[in-house]
Amino acid sequence: MTENLLKRFLKYVRIDTQSDEASTASPSTPKQMDFARLLRDELLALGVADARVSEWGVVYASLPATAEGVPPIGFIAHMDTSPDLTGAGVKPRIVERYDGGDIGLDPAGGIVLSPREFPELLRHRGEDLVVTDGHTLLGADDKAGVAEIMTLAEYLMQHPEVRHGRVCIAFTPDEEVGRGVEHFDVQGFGAEWAYTVDGGEVGELEYENFNAAAVRVEVSGRNVHPGAAKGKMLNSQYLAMRFAAAVPEDERPETTEGREGFYHLTGIAGSVEQTVLTYILRDHDRARFEQRKKYLAETAARLNAEAGGERIRVAAEDQYYNMRERIEPCMHIVDIAAEAMRRAGIEPRLTPVRGGTDGAMLSFKGLPCPNLFAGGLNFHGRYEFVPVRSMELALQTLIKIVELTAQKR
């Protein structure tokens, strides 16, 4: 089983499925649809008769129950990789029995994966690691999850003696650009609850995430010839800088952790005539989240009053909310996952996600959906890696969840 898990993972990461945040198509890149069809065909070959791909590029499948009266549950992973670094031409390499030293990804190019910069490497001394060649991301986010769920399906199909309810499977596109479950058919999926397999280090179990909003700040100026500008010119860039300076310095991503929220300036572009600032706002607490939006609006109002006109306009768009609101009423689904980890020899770590997952959006669509570890680390960059043992433990956790759900019906 482990051999097939690793074989699948190495195959999947070599397939480019990078999503595109600038695209309005769904999925955002055609290559994701190609991967979806490949996964459908593999499921059909395993004997999963209802495997299919929707017009939106979502793969759905289900394994029939082998026991009566057991609630149907689901497992979900995303197929796309991040736009932050290319996913084309991925060349995975296995570092056998990692010795705790530097790993030369591209020694000639000076690209080194070192425990000095990434001390989490030392937690996996003696294990086999899958790394990149230093020029692409790896794609363990979330092809480790995809491979683990596919291997779970293979295991259950080959072991009909395992008692379980209906096991629903889905693979989504475009998670990395925030559109992974826009067209997800919760009713057709058929699960009472589900788990996204999209976390990092072994033991991660998450049912809290940020409330999130995207904010666009448009600043208008007035341009005249600089030789005759006195008393006439209003440089939008200076006004934009005053706005940015009003955002608390100690409430940025680089100064916060845990459940601390932040304002994150993601872009700035402008001229004398107009400047645009883009932010993302994040907070685990809904009241503080709303206060952050209010603070930016009040800052704009204050600066507008000083400028003598409506020069700054703030538009905020909510992106997703904290799934804790929807999961706390059914905490048994978290308890099952935690117990499954313990039975697999893992100590569960319940940590808040400093980000979002497909599961957050699905929870608000009526499908409670905590997030489980998939095993990878250093996502979205050239230093991404995944210990093979971590993927094995993720697979064992999925199997235990299926078995425990049948036992606790």
Q: What is the CATH number of the domain that holds 164?
A: 3.40.630.10
Tokens, residue 307: 């400028």
Give one word for 176, left, alpha or beta, with left for phi > 0 and alpha for psi -120 to 50.
alpha
Q: What is the pLDDT of residues 371-399, one digit of tens each?
A: 999 999 999 999 999 999 999 999 999 99
Q: What is the pLDDT of residues 104-141, one digit of tens each?
A: 999 999 999 999 999 999 999 999 999 999 999 999 99
Which one from 42, 174, 175, 206 is the annotated catalytic residue? 175
Query: How high is the mean pLDDT of the chain?
Result: 96
Give percent of the chain with pLDDT exceeding 90: 94
Residues 65 and 191 reside in one and the same domain = yes
Q: What is the pLDDT of residues 141-150, one digit of tens each?
A: 999 999 999 9
DSSP summary character for residue 343: H
Residues 192 and 220 reside in one and the same domain = no
For the question of residue 176 being annotated catalytic, the response is: no
- Quote the pLDDT of residue 97: 98
- What's the mean pLDDT in 41-50? 97
CB count within 10 Å of CB 79 equals 32
Q: Which of 319, 349, 383 is the last residue of a domain?
A: 319
Residues 58 and 181 reside in one and the same domain = yes
**Residues 60, 245: Cα–Cα separation, whole Å:** 48
Whether the per-residue pLDDT at 408 is higher than 90: the answer is: no
Which one from 80, 141, 142, 174 is the annotated catalytic residue? 80
Domain that holds residue 215: 211-319
Q: Which of 263, 296, 319 is the last residue of a domain?
A: 319
Residues 222 and 153 reside in one and the same domain = no
Tokens, residue 306: 């000083």
- Quote the pLDDT of residue 409: 61
Residues 55 and 166 reside in one and the same domain = yes
Residues 90 and 161 reside in one and the same domain = yes
What's the structural domain count of the chain?
2
Is-contact 386 377, C-beta < 8 A? yes
Whether the per-residue pLDDT at 249 is higher than 90: the answer is: yes
* Confidence grade of residue 330 (pLDDT, cut at 50, 70, 90): very high
For the question of residue 384 being annotated catalytic, the response is: no
The H helix count followed by the E strand count for the chain is 10, 17
CB count within 10 Å of CB 237 equals 17
CB count within 10 Å of CB 115 equals 17
Residues 80 and 163 reside in one and the same domain = yes
Whether the per-residue pLDDT at 102 is higher than 90: the answer is: yes
Residues 13 and 58 reside in one and the same domain = yes
Dmax (CA) for the chain in angstroms is 86
Residues 105 and 187 reside in one and the same domain = yes
DSSP string across 81-129: B-TTS--TT---EEETT--SS-EEEEGGGTEEE-TTT-GGGGGGTTS-E
Q: Which of 259, 285, 319 is the last residue of a domain?
A: 319
- Quote the pLDDT of residue 355: 84
The pTM of the full predicted model, rounded to 2 decimals, is 0.90
Residues 315 and 330 reside in one and the same domain = no
Is-contact 193 333, C-beta < 8 A? yes
242, exposed or middle or buried, with CB in 10 Å at 0-12, 13-18, 19+? middle
Residues 344 and 314 reside in one and the same domain = no
- Quote the pLDDT of residue 351: 87
Residues 227 and 242 reside in one and the same domain = yes
* Confidence grade of residue 178 (pLDDT, cut at 50, 70, 90): confident
Q: What is the pLDDT of residues 188-234, one digit of tens each?
A: 999 999 999 999 999 999 999 999 999 999 999 999 989 998 999 99
